[in-house]
Amino acid sequence: MIHALGDQYEQDKVTDPTRFLEKARLHQSNYRANILQVPFDKYGNYLIKVDALKGLNFYRDFNIS
Q: Which residues pair with 47 in a beta bridge?
A: 40
Average pLDDT score over residue span 6-26:
93
Q: Estimate to the nearest angstrom the gap between the alpha carbon of 20 and the chain centroid.
A: 14
Backbone angles phi, psi at 15, to 5 degrees: -90, -15
pLDDT for the residue 1? 59
Asked whether residue 17 carries a pLDDT value surpassing 60, the answer given is yes
Angle at 43 between CA 38 and CA 45, to 5 degrees: 55
Read off the DSSP letter of residue 36.
Answer: I
Confidence grade of residue 63 (pLDDT, cut at 50, 70, 90): low
Q: pLDDT digits over 23-61, tens only?
A: 999 999 999 999 899 999 899 999 999 999 998 887 666
